[in-house]
Amino acid sequence: MFKNKILGVIALSSLGAAALAHNGATGVVMERMMGMSAMRDVMKGLAPMMQGQIPYDEQAVRDAAAVLQSHASGNLTGLFPEEPIPATSYAKPEIWSDWARFEALSEDLRIYAEGLDISAVNGLEAPALIAPPALPAASMSGMADMDAATMPAKSPVTTFTTEELMGLVARSDLTAATPDAPTAKGQFTGIDFEVTAANVVFEKISQTCASCHSLYRKGN
Amino acid sequence: MRGLIRTAVAVGTVGLVGIAIIAKWPIAEPVHLGMMAGDAYRGAYLARSSGCIACHTNATSGGAALAGGAPLDTPFGSFVPPNITPDPDGGIGNWSLDQFAVALRQGVRPDGKAYYPAFPYEFFADFSDQDVADLWAAIQIVPPVPVAAAESDVSFPFNLRWGLKLWRAAYMKPAKISPVMGQSAAWNRGKQLVTGPAHCAACHTGRNMLGGLKDSEALAGNDTLPDGSKAPPILAADLVAKGWTVANMAYALRTGVMPDGDVFGGGMAEVVQAGTSFMEEADREAIATYLLEIDGKLPAANAAETPVADAGMTGMVHTPGMVME
């Protein structure tokens, strides 16, 4: 009983804090805020686990993946009807002027959240069989790249080539999820979730969040 | 009445002469690097860490590397990061290494005019000659783009470049970075990165009405960033209060995930995506080590889980400048 009260107070106060942050958000803005907060909470729980700071819990990872899936793709984009942005919202108008990219990122989130569910069983140790990047002929640090491709996924260390650092070629550690349709369960372009460490997939999710936030969210 | 006119003419003449003198006032210190050889890989790592790639490339609109960045809208006007590809017409292909060094470290163009501080040259002032040569070598591998970036659109009176010389005299603070004895290699490396190339203070330190950085508010946050967003304080006490540790900050600088589970957006997401996520892990840990230091020591709660970075290792691979002597 006492515990319930405490939980209630915590829930109310965090709701209050969130509502305060959005300064009286209502309607669809409130719904978006709740969805984003739910995702933030599962990310908070997963981050220390994915860094190996707390024990890995496969079921917790799968539960979190389910929450992320439930807020991704159409469930996410559906909460952004094109309408004047109220002052309470953090949404940027680029969401609607750049809808295809917004939709693609929402879809990336779904794919990676599904991938997290698949890779959860692997924990932090599975070797990442991501296709080794094609080495540019002029690369001065090709050896370092080969090391990165064959390294266990626990600490996804990547050394970038001169061309990657200068922005001349796309970085080899980021593979877009959406361009091609999945060929089989867990098989997507460039990443096979069944043999990928969960933390690698988790980082794909965080990169997707960051891409979306940087383009479409006001403030940091 | 006649006296009044005379006075006005005299004041006007003095003013014009003053402006003429200021306009002629040479501000660049001569540099003689000659044909110093650079290492393109080291230069590329430094260019990435310093935000050159992020700022001078308009990635959002699919622009070519270093061919000119997205406009930076500020209260003074809209600044367009120029094309710095090695094209002689569109870019900086007809510059000498010495001119490049003066531009980068002193903020002065080859024609002797000053850059606006939207270009954070103050933070690059302590780059070594070798750093400059390395950056120059890295720029040479970029495909030249013959089209110059759009002109900046700066409002009056800020569009009068001679006024920048006064600004420099009043506010310019060239970074001078020296290692602190008794601090770890990681801490000193972090100090070097934070104060120099990574130019954290450009956003996280408040600015005065004329865009000068406020010493008294170093890294204490800035609520008035050009895009209307806020940069939070990144002083140790603030960071520790928000749950930051060396480990989770290094992780955030790679992945964007903050200790509360939120993921960076806005300018900081760009900093991570186009900058710190490319760094060596030891460098991210060094930045965190430096920022989280309190009175020369990490807070006890953090120290236990902090794998102290051996920045010396990274430094051996590619020390982007300001070699610790």
A46-69: pLDDT as tens digits:
999 999 999 999 999 999 999 999
Q: What is the pLDDT of residues A78-105, one digit of tens each?
A: 999 988 888 888 899 999 999 999 999 9
**Burial A68-85, CB ≥16 within 10 A → b, else e:** bbebbbeebbebbeeeeb
Q: Are residues B100 and B209 in the same domain?
A: no
Whether B137 is covered by a domain: the verdict is yes
Q: Do B141 and A138 touch (CB under 8 A)?
A: yes
If asked whether residues B81 and B166 sit together in one domain, one would say yes
Q: Same domain for B163 and B65?
A: yes
Asked if B266 is an interface residue toward chain A (Cβ–Cβ < 8 A), one would say: yes
Alpha-carbon distance values, B215 to B19, B107, B175 (Å) = 29, 20, 12
Residue B9 lies in a domain: no
Q: Which of B142, B171, B200 marks a domain boundary?
A: B171
Token code pair at residue B227: 């895009």
> How many Å lie between the alpha carbon of B191 and the closest alpha carbon of chain A?
22
Q: Is residue B86 part of a domain?
A: yes
Contact: A157, B281; criterion CB under 8 Å: yes
Q: Across all residues in chain A, what is the average pLDDT?
A: 77
Residue with tokens 């779904």: A110
- Pick the last residue of a domain from B146, B171, B196: B171
Predicted confidence (pLDDT) per residue in B261-290, tens digit: 999 988 899 899 999 999 999 999 999 999
Which residues, numbered 117 to 176 in chain B, qualify as contacts with chain A under a Cβ-Cβ cut-off of 8 Å?
138, 141-143
Asked whether residue B273 is domain-assigned, the answer is yes
Query: What is the reported pLDDT for B295?
Result: 55
Closest Cα of chain B to A185: distance in Å?
26
Same-domain check for residues B165 and B218: no
Q: Do A219 and B266 touch (CB under 8 A)?
A: yes
* Interatomic CA distance for residues A159 and A140, integer angstroms: 11
Q: Which of A166, A174, A208 to mutate to test the interface with B (most CBs of B within 10 A)?
A: A166
Q: Do the chains contact at B40 and A140, CB–CB below 8 Å?
A: yes
The beta-carbon neighbor of B263 closest among A159, A210, A215 is: A210
In whole angstroms, give the CA distance from residue B296 to residue B139: 38
Contact A51 B247 (CB under 8 A): yes
* Residue A186 confidence (pLDDT) above 90: no
The dihedral through the CA atoms of B293, B219, B122, B105 has a sign that is positive
Question: pLDDT tens for residues A210-220?
Answer: 989 988 998 76
Could you state, in order of their start, the residue ranges of all structural domains in chain A? Answer: 2-124
- List chain B residues with pLDDT less than 70: 1, 294-325
For residue B256, list chain A residues with Cβ-Cβ distance below 8 A.
206-207, 209-210, 213
pLDDT at site A166: 97
Question: pLDDT confidence of A159, banded at 50, 70, 90?
Answer: confident
Sort out which chain B residues have CB atoms less than 8 A from A157's CB and list them: 281
Tell me which chain B residue has its CA closest to the CA of residue A140. B41
Do B265 and A43 count as a contact with CB atoms less than 8 A apart?
Answer: no
| Contact A137/B at CB under 8 A | no
Indicate whether B51 and B74 sit together in one domain: yes
- In 3D space, the residue among B265, B71, B225, B273 whose CA is nearest the CA of residue A91 turns out to be B265
Token pair 């890294």: residue = B219
Q: Are A220 and B268 inside 8 Å of each other by CB?
A: yes
Query: Tokens standing for B30?
Result: 């001569």
The verdict on a CB contact (< 8 Å) between B265 and A213 is yes
8 Å CB contact between A218 and A86: no
Q: Which residue among B57, B232, B272 places its CB closest to the CB of A167?
A: B57
Q: Please tell me if residue A171 touches chain B, with a CB cutoff of 8 Å.
A: yes
Angle at A65 between CA A201 and CA A150, to 5 degrees: 15
Contact at CB, B60 and A203, closer than 8 angstroms: no
- B307 and B243 share a domain? yes
Q: Is the pLDDT of residue A32 over 60?
A: yes
Q: Which residue has better confidence, A6 or B132? A: B132
Number of separate domains in chain B: 2
Residues B305 and B220 in one domain: yes
Whether the CA torsion B49, B55, B61, B65 is positive or negative: it is negative
- Min Cα distance A45 → chain B (Å) is 7
Domain housing B68: 40-171
By Cβ distance, the residue of B57, B248, B265 closest to A214 is B265
Q: Does the CB of B53 have a partner CB in chain A at under 8 Å?
A: yes
Shortest CA gap A55–chain B (Å): 14
- Topology of domain A2-124 in CATH is Four Helix Bundle (Hemerythrin (Met), subunit A) (1.20.120)
Answer yes or no: do A166 and B264 touch at CB < 8 A: no
Judgement on whether residues B84 and B54 belong to the same structural domain of the protein? yes
Mark whether B191 and B234 lie in a shared domain: yes
Q: Which residue of chain B comes nearest to A49, CA vs CA?
A: B248
- Out of B116, B148, B171, pick the residue that ends a domain: B171
Q: How far is B172 from chain A (nearest CA, A)?
A: 28
The pLDDT-based confidence of A15 (bands split at 50, 70, 90) is: very low
User: Which value does ipTM take for this structure?
Assistant: 0.85
pLDDT at A20 over 60: no
B 193-232 residues with CB < 8 A to A: 228-232
Claim to verify: residue B103 and residue B167 sit in the same structural domain: yes
* Closest C-alpha to B260, from A147, A21, A154, A76: A21
C-alpha distance from A213 to closest chain B C-alpha (Å) = 4
